[in-house]
Amino acid sequence: MDVFPSWLLSTPFILFSISFILLIHLLRRSRSPMASTTFHLPPAPPTLPLIGNIHQLLTKNLHQTIWQLAQKYGPVMLIHTGFKPYLVISSSEMAREVLKTHQEIISTRPSNEGSKRLSYNLSDITFAPYGHHWRKMRKVFLTQLLGPKRVGWFNQVLKMETDSMIKILSSNHVNAPVNLNDLFLTLVYGVVFKFAFGKTYRGEPLFNGVTLKEMLDESTVVLLGSITDMFPSYRWILDKLCGWNDRLDKCFANVDGFFEMIINEHLQTVGETNEDEKDFVHALIELSQKDSEFTKDHTKALLLDVLIGGTETTFVTIVWVMSEIVRNPRVMQKLQTEIRSCVGRKTEIDASDISKMTYLKMVIKESLRLHPPAPLLFPRDCSSHCQIGGYDVFPGSCVVINGWGIGRDPRHWKECPNEFYPERFENMEVDFLGNHFEMVPFGAGRRSCPGMKSATSTLELSLAKLLYWFDWEVAGGVKNEDLDMEEKGLFVAHKKSPLLLVPIKHKWEN
């Protein structure tokens, strides 16, 4: 992800601009009244002028780097990127203070030009400031997309798409490797798009010839923001210099064009579609017809939440959990025994079978502990002064919770914290529903993930089918135990190399 294009920091012109900015900043700071006041500030690694700690953070795995720093500076640590202060939280106790004790004042998301633009001026759920509008949008999302009325349709879509995945695998040549990244991406897009938008848009070039994946990848980059967000007062000049504005315009035009197309298709059918066949877009169109405050931009902003919130996170999780299962043949065998004995010789796996699969649930939990797809969750901003762990925190500080590190903290995960051992949950209360802070893959508190239930249903049924019908080997003669597990990605932790496996149809003993 080229959030920091290499030429950006090396261009002499930019270095000149930075020196100029530094000079102005130092002059401003010397006149600031804050300079003479003392507070109990959190420990902080030493900073360099202007760039703060950026030089320490430009690494392959940001969450691993800040976890290492936290071992030295503690569970509440202050770091700076440019002029922006970040409070880094690295223990379950401090995560509880942020996500529960102080949730009233640490529930707004930081924004940048990219997130403002793509979320229709912060009118979605994910980026909306905490308050009345956010509450209303979240309620619409929870009732119209994920509410009880939609469960039946969701289950139908999930069944269709997981069946289609098994069909693709069954038609695979004997002993030929399959790229499971491609397969899982098709599955997740299929489930989310068909469920929310009524069709999969599979294989269709969307707008300006851009594919769905290209559009989503570019949107993720744009939402994260550019290096210029670290120097907000000088963004106007830096954005122009690095071409960020043009990139943003182009990305927005593609996303908006796609949403416009979806809405127009639905406008043509909304009147003649049966109540039980209406999808999320139909529901939003009807809402906008009844409620004049609910605009077309609000509809599009919620479609963005489905696209961004619902796809990459689920896709990344299913790749990680399948990788861990295959890398641990003992776990794979135990899981297959459970799944095959719960289902028997039926051809369908249903919800009542899944409810009996206790080991499957532990396997998913263990994978989310070790590989939360958003290892730093979604950042939040502090809106007024408070104290965390006894340290002063000021409005405008961005709060980042290192969920990856917390999930591996040896103080809580005493038995081999870095190892995949699902049995650890046999005698342990901890879950990921937001009640325990020792693992927070879906966040916690008011801004926790609203898609948790649908994501876990997708994971459970997909894995149950994959392991019921097939045995699995790593492609290329690599031993299962030697599967590469390296991570990549700045804010979403992907498995670096694609998951290439050989599916072997299971032979039942009579």
Choice from 377, 386, 463, 499 touching ligand HEM (CB under 6 A):
377
CA distances from residue 276 to 87, 149, 153, 190 in whole angstroms, order as listed = 47, 8, 8, 20
Q: Is 438 helix (H, G, I), strand (E, B) or coil?
A: coil
Q: Give the separation between CA 375 and CA 325, rounded to whole angstroms.
A: 20
Q: Give the separation between CA 280 and CA 192, rounded to whole angstroms.
A: 11
Q: Which stretch binds ligand HEM (CB under 6 A): 30-38, 246-254, 285-293, 304-312?
A: 304-312
Number of C-beta neighbours around residue 286 at 10 A: 16
Number of C-beta neighbours around residue 275 at 10 A: 7
Q: Give the separation between CA 385 and CA 239, rounded to whole angstroms.
A: 31
Q: Give the separation between CA 371 and CA 385, rounded to whole angstroms.
A: 32
Q: For residue 231, give the H/E element and its range.
A: none
Q: Does 328 bind ligand HEM (CB under 6 A)?
A: no
Q: Please, which residue, 165 or 439, has the CB nearer to ligand HEM? A: 439
Q: Copy the structure tokens of residue 253.
A: 């035009």
Residues 167-226 that bind ligand HEM (CB under 6 A): none
DSSP 208: T
User: What are the respective helix, strand and coil percentages of the chain, to the nearest 5?
Assistant: 55, 10, 35
Which residue shows structure tokens 């926790």? 448
Choice from 447, 465, 494, 495 touching ligand HEM (CB under 6 A):
447
Site string for ligand HEM, 104-143 (x = CB under 6 A): ---------------------xx-----------x-----
Which positions ≥6 away from 484 have C-beta within 8 Å? Answer: 495, 496, 497
Q: Does 309 bind ligand HEM (CB under 6 A)?
A: yes
Q: Does 374 bind ligand HEM (CB under 6 A)?
A: yes
Q: Which stretch binds ligand HEM (CB under 6 A): 37-45, 242-250, 306-314, 406-414?
A: 306-314
Smallest distance from ligand HEM to CB 461, Å? 14
Q: Please, which residue, 315 or 359, has the CB nearer to ligand HEM? A: 315
Smallest distance from ligand HEM to CB 381, Å? 11
Choice from 119, 313, 336, 397 touching ligand HEM (CB under 6 A):
313
Q: Does 442 bind ligand HEM (CB under 6 A)?
A: yes
Smallest distance from ligand HEM to CB 378, Å? 4
Q: Give the separation between CA 321 and CA 316, rounded to whole angstroms.
A: 9
Q: Does 450 bind ligand HEM (CB under 6 A)?
A: yes
Is 416 annotated as belonging to a binding site? no
Q: Which H, E and C letters describe 7-29, residue by residue?
A: HHHHCHHHHHHHHHHHHHHHHHH
Q: Please, which residue, 85 or 407, has the CB nearer to ligand HEM? A: 407
Q: Are 218 and 254 in contact (CB under 8 A)?
A: yes
Number of C-beta neighbours around residue 192 at 10 A: 24
Q: Please, which residue, 210 or 306, has the CB nearer to ligand HEM? A: 306
Smallest distance from ligand HEM to CB 114, Å? 16
Q: Copy the structure tokens of residue 47.
A: 């900073």
Residues 22-61 that bind ligand HEM (CB under 6 A): none
Smallest distance from ligand HEM to CB 196, Å? 7
Q: Are 108 and 125 in contact (CB under 8 A)?
A: no
Smallest distance from ligand HEM to CB 357, Å? 18
Q: Please, which residue, 45 or 434, has the CB nearer to ligand HEM? A: 434
Nearest in space to 451 (alpha carbons), one of 122, 99, 147: 147
Choice from 162, 314, 328, 462 touching ligand HEM (CB under 6 A):
314
Q: Does 306 bind ligand HEM (CB under 6 A)?
A: yes
Q: Are 322 and 463 in contact (CB under 8 A)?
A: yes
Number of helices (H), then strands (E), belonging to the chain: the values are 20, 11
Smallest distance from ligand HEM to CB 223, Å? 12
Q: Does 96 bind ligand HEM (CB under 6 A)?
A: no
Q: Please, which residue, 258 or 442, has the CB nearer to ligand HEM? A: 442
Choice from 317, 328, 397, 402 touching ligand HEM (CB under 6 A):
317
Residues 227-286 that bind ligand HEM (CB under 6 A): none
Q: Which stretch binds ligand HEM (CB under 6 A): 219-227, 423-431, 449-457, 486-494?
A: 449-457
Q: Copy the structure tokens of residue 303.
A: 């479609």
Nearest in space to 364 (alpha carbons), one of 329, 318, 409, 405: 318
Q: Give the separation between CA 305 and CA 119, rounded to whole angstroms.
A: 8
Residues 56-75 that bind ligand HEM (CB under 6 A): none
Q: Please, which residue, 54 or 196, has the CB nearer to ligand HEM? A: 196
DSSP 79: E
Q: Give the separation between CA 465 and CA 412, rounded to whole angstroms.
A: 33
Q: Please, which residue, 318 or 343, has the CB nearer to ligand HEM? A: 318
Smallest distance from ligand HEM to CB 67, Å? 17
Query: Would you tell me which residues interact with ligand HEM (CB under 6 A)?
Result: 125-126, 138, 305-306, 309-310, 313-314, 317, 373-374, 377-378, 441-444, 447-451, 454-455
Q: Binding site for heme, residues?
A: 449
